[in-house]
Amino acid sequence: MSENTIIVYSKPDCVQCNATYRALDSKGIQYTVIDITENAAALEYVTEDLKYSAAPVVVVDDNLHWAGFRPDKIAALAA
């Protein structure tokens, strides 16, 4: 897997977002953070295209994405 494909769509002061960053960091997984409160296109992508209503939204590729803090999914990425 290419390491720069993971995008975390997040918002400020988000407990689950911060937990997701910590888990990704602890596994040595690189990612890019996009703040959906400052990027209207990203917010539309997350809410309209992916149909998520909670942050964070982690997108690995077109077929693998989820919302919320999911240590099980992060562990699977690191495996």
d(CA 78, CA 44): 29
Closest CA relative to residue 10, chosen from 31, 28, 26:
31
pTM: 0.92
Residues 32, 6 contacting (CB under 8 angstroms): yes
DSSP 45: I
* pLDDT for position 66: 98
* pLDDT for position 1: 39
| C-alpha pair distances (Å), 75 with each of 7, 33, 41, 64 | 16, 19, 29, 14
Domain CATH for 28:
3.40.30.10
Number of C-alpha atoms within 13 angstroms, CB side, residue 27?
Answer: 18
Over residues 57-74, the pLDDT tens digits come to 999 998 999 999 999 999
Domain that holds residue 28: 3-78
